[in-house]
Structure formats: structure tokens, C-alpha cells
Structure 1
Amino acid sequence: MSLYGLLVFSAVYALAVASPGPGVAAVIARSLANGTRGAPAFIAGFLVGDLIWFAFAATGLAALAQSAHAVFVAVKYAGAAYLLYLAYKMWTSPAVAADNTPGLEKGQKPFQLFLGSLALTLANPKTMVFFLALLPTVVSLERLTLLGFAEMVVAISILLPLTFSAYVVLADRARRVFKSTKAVRRINRGTGAAMACAAVVVATR
């Protein structure tokens, strides 16, 4: 895939990962309660879950692009609309302090933490819907190669752990910030505005 497509995919995906949602809430809540203990295994579960949903979305859309071009184009513009919808939801979502979100129990073993975050991701089909919306706008899926697929896998494998690790460190070291609803509201609106800009870019590409 082109460098431009990879950069746009990476930017929009990073925004989606960083935006407040079940995954971010769980990471912050657990870090507020337990610090950095068990964080690598917990984050690994989210990563594997995202890669599974990405694989389903990419292979399905590639087949659609080759067999039904008109439907594929419709999916592409529907995807841009969905990204705008996500931006609206981020901007208007209520500011809930992280310490009000249930975390996982203390004392869980790494494998249990991994399974918990993996189950949370796989139980949320919105992750695959996001990939279905994003991919047609940034890559020519009818010409998707194994190398292009691998490049996006690498991007996901770098961006998700880095983003969630940043949340873990910040929640561990600056707990008062994440307990403030004002701070959460600013994160929601900042991410929503950035996502709207990204949607416009990919829709007009």
C-alpha cells in the first residue's frame, strides 16, 4: 500500500484507540487501582482482539472489492459517514471520571488478565465495524497484497500498545487528572474534533 494510505490508516486508528471507550476505560480504571502491575498482559489481550477483528474486516473487504465494485464504493462512503458519526459521539459523550468505571479484580494472573481484555474486545463488534469503515477509504483493497496487510498489522501492533501504555503510565503517575470529569471532557472533545478532520480527509481522497 502507499505511504500516504498507511499514514492515514495509522493516524485514524491511533485516534480511535486513544478515544474514550470500553478499552481505555478498563485500562485507566485498572491502572488507577493497581498501577502498572499486569499491564503488559492486559494490553496484549486488546492487541490480539484488534488483530482478529482487523483480519476479518480486511479479508472480507478485499473479496468484496474484487467481486462487487459498486457495493464496495458504497461501503467506502458509508465508512466516511461512520467516522463522522464517531466524531460526533466522542464530542457529545458524557464525561465520566475513570475511577467510576469498574476495573478487574486485583491479584489476577497475567493469563487471566489477557483473557479478560481479549474477551472485552471480541465482545465488541464495533471494532470490526470501525475497520470496515476505515479500510476502504485508505487502501485499494482490490489490490491488497500480503505486504500491505503486514504493514497494517505492524502499525496496529505498535500503536495500540504505545497508546495504552501511555494511559497506564499517566494513570499511575497522575491519578488526579483522570479522576477529573473536566479532563475527560477535554479528551472527548479533542479526540472528536481530530476524528472529524480525519473523516473529511479520507472521504475526499
Structure 2
Amino acid sequence: MALELFLAFLAAAILISLSPGAGAVNTMSTGLRYGVKGALPAIMGLQLGYGLQVVLVGVGLGALLSQSQLAFELIKWFGVLYLVYLGYQKWTQATLNLEVQAGVNESRSRQFWQAAFVNLTNPKATVFLLALFPQFVDPLAANQALQYSIMGSTLIVVDILVMVGYASLASVLSRWMKSERHQKLQNRIFGAMFVAAAGLMASYSHKTA
């Protein structure tokens, strides 16, 4: 991949990651509750889901979602329901003593897989990658797999850095979240944001892909 083409793709990758979405909401919610270090399992979970999306596109299953209305709708609505479920969980979540981080280790696995499903059940990401990758791939080159690997790795590295930034911002805000009242407020804000993300996903039409 030529340097100029890679830099253009890198700029696109940064804009994609900076765009607020369910992944950013999940990361900020976790970072606010557990801090940057505690949010790392969730961030890595997002990358697993993201990486699987890249693989789906790379092996051609992304084309199935772009052509099959049924497959697209099934995955989309599963993702919508999952985000609504996360919103309900967050809305009803118990307050936490932020001075005591006990129990964080026990929830790392859950945070990881929850975040992975947030990205994995977003068909918009698959269709978007399907539209993005061909703009930067040289169809005449023999190293198609290498080109996809470079782009996929770039997307994931950029997303990790951006998500760490989101978690850091949320962690800084945690100083204002010591009281039970403020914690309840942030739980409801993030719960509403998850549901809003579900609404955006539900409104995404297969015809626009």
C-alpha cells in the first residue's frame, strides 16, 4: 500500500473511531465506573468484535449482509435488543463506592464479552467496512490479504487509542461522581445513551448501504 493511500486510510480510521457510537458509550460508561485500567477489558472486547467484523468483510460475508435483507435485519435487530438490554442494565445499576474498587477483577470477563457483542452485533459496521475497504485496496495487486491485514490492524490500533482517550476522559469526570445522587444520574444518562444508540441502529436502513 502506497504511503499516500495509507495516510488517507489512517485519517479515515481516526474519524471513524472518533465518531460517537455504542462502543464509545460502553467505554465511557466503564471508564467512569472503573477508571482507565478497569476499562481495558471492555476496550479489548470491542476490538474482538471489531476484528471479527473485519474478518467477515475479508472473507466475503459482509457481501451477504449487503445483499440479503433477511440476514441484515436479523443481525440488526439482535443488536438493537442487546443495546436496549444494556441500557436497562445501566439505568437500574446499583451505585458504587468509587473509593473501593473491589469486585472489578470479577467483572472483567463480563465486561470483555459484553463489549465484544456491542461491536459484533452492529451490521452497520460490516456494511460500512464493505464500502470503505474497496476504496483503498489495489484490485490488481496480488497481496490482497496483506492489504486487508494492514487496514484491519490500523483500524484496531487507532480504535484502541481513541477508546483509551474516551476512558481517560470519563475517569477524569469520576471525581464528580462520588455521591450516590450523581452516580444514579450518570447511570440514567448512559442508560439513555445506550437506548439512543439502539434507536440509531434500528433506523439504519439496508437500502442505504
- Normalising by the smaller structure, the TM-score range is 0.5 to 0.7
User: What is the CA–CA distance in structure 1 between the aligned matches of 2:108 and 2:33, rounded to whole Å?
Assistant: 16
Partner of 2:116: 118
Cα separation, partners in 2 of 1:61 and 1:9, compared to 1, 3 Å: farther
Deviation at 1:121, TM superposition (A): 0.9
Match of 2:2 in 1: 2
Change (3 A) 1:167 1:140: same
Q: Which amino acid in the other structure matches residue 14 of structure 2?
A: A
Q: Name the aligned partner's letter for residue 137 of structure 2.
A: V
For residue 102 of structure 1, the aligned residue among 90, 104, 107 is 90
How far, CA to CA, are the matches of 2:148 and 2:170 in structure 1?
Answer: 33
Letter in 2 for 1:17: S
How far has the Cα of 1:109 moved from its partner?
A: 2.2
Provide the TM-score with structure 1 as the length reference. Answer: 0.59
Alignment of 1:158-169 (within 5 A): 158-169=157-168
Aligned residues: 143
Q: Name the SS for the 2:10 alignment partner.
A: helix
Q: Which structure 1 residue ranges, 4+ long, deviate > 6 Å from structure 2?
A: 103-106
| Match in the other structure for 1:40 | 40
- Measure, in 2, the Cα distance between the counterparts of 1:102 and 1:4: 43
Aligned to 2:72: none
Conserved 8 A contact 1:43-1:117: yes
Contact 1:45 1:115 in 2 (8 A): yes
The amino acid across from 1:162 in the alignment is L
Indicate the residue corresponding to 1:56 in structure 2: 56
Residue 161 of structure 1, CA deviation: 0.8
User: Where does the alignment leave 5 or more consecutive residues of structure 1 unmatched?
Assistant: 64-100, 182-205
The TM-score, its normalising length taken from structure 2, stands at 0.58
How far, CA to CA, are the matches of 2:52 and 2:139 in structure 1? 18
Could you tell me whether the CA contact under 8 Å between 1:9 and 1:134 is conserved in 2?
Answer: no
Partner of 1:152: 151
Written as runs of structure 1 = structure 2, the 5 A alignment for 1:69-108 is 102=90, 107=104, 108=106
Please tell me the root mean square deviation across aligned C-alpha atoms, in Å.
3.2
How high is the sequence identity, in percent, across the aligned residues? 27
Offset from partner CA, 1:102-160 (integer Å, 9 cap, x none): 38887452221110101111111111111011111222245353322221232123111
Q: Say which one has the larger Rg.
A: 2
